[in-house]
Chains A and B, each alone.
Chain A
Amino acid sequence: MLEVLGFEFFRNALVAGALASVACGVIGTYVVVRRMVAISGGISHAAFGGIGLGYFLGIDPLIGATGFTVATALGMGALQLRAKQQMDTIIGAVWAAGMALGILFVYLTPGFAPDLFSYLFGNILLVPRGDILMMAILVVIIVTVVALFYLELQAITFDPDYAAVMNLPVERLSLLLLVLIALTVVMLIRVVGIILVIALLTLPAAISRLYTTRIWSMMVGAVVLGISFTMAGMWLSYLLDVPSGATIILVSTLAYAGSLGIERLRLGD
């Protein structure tokens, strides 16, 4: 096991996994407590449209994905404030349309899209140095914004009506949270891929919630769990020679199932 640490790509992968876990733990906490799993799924799948656009325009697909997911998040946020009833249908539509746009863009791009598969399912072992730098910048942005707006984000995710009575800018804060989700999704694409993003965003936070009583402690727990799952997943995928993204997700899902089982036993005596 330890000899692989000698490879730069593996050290990069460890750093990428840790950075992704920090973003996931912090933002995933809000996704779980505010029940925004569906909208996050919509945002992450819409990212494929941005990947396709990136190929089409000949720019870094991740830059295309960043622009596209942030725009989608803002659009969905604006719709959510105005069309609450049809929201789950709208999410479904955006979800599918994002994927469809991605496919069209890739089809229209001359030549072969070499690492398309890695955007869908992730390949943490292929994360280049430049992406690590971008991930680190995103983590700093996410953590700083959450630290600055901790009380506001707590208020709007716990009781948005009361936050409005307290004269907080609830709409702008909700959009801010959606943008943070979009940025987190972009970071996760490299690690586990578009299809699997939602699991890493929600499972560590969902497990952490069972054992914590505050937002910040839930975040810390989720970050620690996320790092453990990505490390365990990478180690297993190395041992068994299977895809890393899928292994990370299966490790997380098993841990979630296990923690739910333990919780049931504990509550049911």
Chain B
Amino acid sequence: MSAPVIEVEDLWVRLRGQTVLEGVNLAVHPDDFYAIIGPNGGGKTTLLRAILGLLTPCRGEIRILGSKDAAMRRHLGYVPQFRTFDFQYPITVREMVLSGRLGHITRRPRRYGTEDHARVDEALETMHITDLAERQIQNLSGGEQQRAIIARALAGDPKVLLLDEPTVYVDVPTEVQFYGILDRLRDRMAVVFVTHDIGVLPGLVTKVACLNRRLYTHDTNEVTPDMLEAAYHCPVDLIAHGVPHRVFPEHSEEG
């Protein structure tokens, strides 16, 4: 197996006096399509923010491509939660996607070069939004905005794509299309996404982990009842309702 893209070792995070993450270990490999599920407030966003260097853990280590250097974050493609965006901001799709290149620019003052523009054209093409490039992000539909946000992450030529609750605010057809896009990207990069809604786990997921302060991993794409029980601290059938069967092992006895 190839070397991991992201390694998280014994990670502890405290926020405002509360322990949010406790002894979390995680390894993401280049061919992983990783789903991290867990209840709201379980620390999913915190784990992503720690990996992205947006908060300082009180203990533990995070390595990107084997290095702890902050500059390594340019290899991460971050797709934040949709609702955190200020879509009123006067910025065009192209400008927003270009900003995904900022981590790669070494000359000062920072200016975009031909390489940056080429990568952006590629990312717009991949997300099928080339014809929207000069539009202000405000004037796009929800699904188009979502694709623009992913295009920004792709422009940085990431080794891994990190998505925070990517499907919460999109409707079902958009969601299906969305997983189709991720499926096309997976041979180029690892994918990690966190969600509180285990009903959305698509068949393309290769690994699942449950997060509720501690991370419960299982090296298959199956969610076992005891993982859920451990993560959610409640009877499994309560939340297992409506989960596509392929996610569960054949022999599972719910509840």
Q: Choose from A151, A165, A209 the contact partner of B73 (Cβ within 8 Å).
A: A165
Q: Which B residues are CB-close (under 8 A) to A163?
A: 99, 102
Distance in angstroms from A33 CB to nearest chain B CB is: 6
Interface of A is mostly: helix
A155 and B102 contact, Cβ closer than 8 Å, known pairs A161-B54, A165-B52, A214-B95: yes
Contact of B109 with A167 in the complex, beta carbons under 8 Å: no
Q: Choose from B80, B90, B110 the contact partner of A215 (Cβ within 8 Å).
A: B90
Q: Which A residues are CB-close (under 8 A) to B49?
A: 161
Kindly report which residue of chain A lies nearest to residue B78, judged by CB atoms. Answer: A165
Contact of A166 with B90 in the complex, beta carbons under 8 Å: no
Q: Which A residues are CB-close (under 8 A) to B103?
A: 165-167
When chains A and B are docked, how far (Å) is the Cα of A152 from the Cα of B76? 19
Kindly report which residue of chain A lies nearest to residue B111, judged by CB atoms. Answer: A151
When chains A and B are docked, how far (Å) is the Cα of A161 from the Cα of B86? 12
Distance in angstroms from B20 CB to nearest chain A CB is: 17
When chains A and B are docked, how far (Å) is the Cα of A154 from the Cα of B109? 14
Contact of A214 with B90 in the complex, beta carbons under 8 Å: yes
Q: Give how many B residues have a beta carbon under 8 Å from the other chain's beta carbons.
A: 33
Q: Is B1 an interface residue (CB 8 A)?
A: no
Distance in angstroms from B50 CB to nearest chain A CB is: 12
Q: Which B residues are CB-close (under 8 A) to A217?
A: 90
Contact of A148 with B136 in the complex, beta carbons under 8 Å: no
Q: Which A residues are CB-close (under 8 A) to B90?
A: 33, 209, 212-215, 217-218
When chains A and B are docked, how far (Å) is the Cα of A215 from the Cα of B95? 10
The residues in B between 78 and 96 inclusive whose CB is less than 8 angstroms from any CB of A are: 78, 80, 84-86, 88-92, 95-96
Contact of B85 with A159 in the complex, beta carbons under 8 Å: yes
Q: Is B238 an interface residue (CB 8 A)?
A: no
Distance in angstroms from B128 CB to nearest chain A CB is: 21
Contact of A164 with B96 in the complex, beta carbons under 8 Å: no
Q: Is A158 an interface residue (CB 8 A)?
A: yes
When chains A and B are docked, how far (Å) is the Cα of A161 from the Cα of B49? 9
A151 and B78 contact, Cβ closer than 8 Å, known pairs A33-B89, A165-B103, A218-B90: no
Query: Contact string, B106-120, partner A, CB cutoff 8 A, digits 1/0?
Result: 000111100000000
When chains A and B are docked, how far (Å) is the Cα of A217 from the Cα of B134? 13
Kindly report which residue of chain A lies nearest to residue B90, judged by CB atoms. Answer: A218
Q: Which B residues are CB-close (under 8 A) to A157?
A: 89
Query: Contact string, B171-202, partner A, CB cutoff 8 A, digits 1/0?
Result: 00000000000000000000000000000000
A162 and B91 contact, Cβ closer than 8 Å, known pairs A151-B111, A167-B71, A213-B136: no
Q: Choose from B76, B84, B92 the contact partner of A165 (Cβ within 8 Å).
A: B76
Distance in angstroms from B36 CB to nearest chain A CB is: 18
Q: Is B147 an interface residue (CB 8 A)?
A: no
Distance in angstroms from B44 CB to nearest chain A CB is: 15
Q: Which B residues are CB-close (under 8 A) to A213?
A: 90-92, 135-136
Distance in angstroms from B192 CB to nearest chain A CB is: 14
Q: Is A117 an interface residue (CB 8 A)?
A: no
Q: Choose from B70, B80, B91 the contact partner of A154 (Cβ within 8 Å).
A: B91
Q: Is B74 an interface residue (CB 8 A)?
A: yes
A164 and B53 contact, Cβ closer than 8 Å, known pairs A213-B90, A214-B90, A214-B91: yes
Q: Which A residues are CB-close (under 8 A) to B112?
A: 151
Query: Contact string, A150-180, partner B, CB cutoff 8 A, digits 1/0?
Result: 0110110111011111111000000000000
When chains A and B are docked, how far (Å) is the Cα of A9 from the Cα of B53? 55
Distance in angstroms from A29 CB to nearest chain B CB is: 8
Contact of B99 with A161 in the complex, beta carbons under 8 Å: no
Contact of B73 with A167 in the complex, beta carbons under 8 Å: yes
Q: Is A149 an interface residue (CB 8 A)?
A: yes
Q: Which A residues are CB-close (under 8 A) to B92?
A: 213-214
Contact of A151 with B102 in the complex, beta carbons under 8 Å: yes
- Listed residue (A149, A162, A163, A164) with the most chain B CB atoms within 10 angstroms of its CB: A162
The residues in A between 182 and 231 inclusive whose CB is less than 8 angstroms from any CB of B are: 209, 212-215, 217-218
When chains A and B are docked, how far (Å) is the Cα of A152 from the Cα of B95? 12
Q: Which B residues are CB-close (under 8 A) to A161?
A: 49, 52, 54, 78, 80, 84
Contact of B70 with A167 in the complex, beta carbons under 8 Å: yes
A168 and B80 contact, Cβ closer than 8 Å, known pairs A149-B109, A158-B91, A218-B90: no
Distance in angstroms from A221 CB to nearest chain B CB is: 10
A-B residue pairs in contact (CB < 8 Å), sample of 20: A148-B109, A151-B102, A151-B110, A155-B102, A157-B89, A158-B96, A159-B99, A161-B54, A161-B80, A164-B52, A165-B73, A166-B73, A166-B74, A166-B100, A167-B70, A167-B103, A209-B90, A212-B90, A213-B91, A214-B90
Give 17 A-B pairs besides A162-B152, A213-B90 with Cβ atoms closer than 8 angstroms. A149-B109, A151-B102, A152-B102, A157-B89, A158-B89, A159-B99, A161-B49, A161-B52, A161-B78, A165-B103, A166-B73, A166-B99, A166-B102, A166-B103, A213-B92, A213-B135, A214-B95
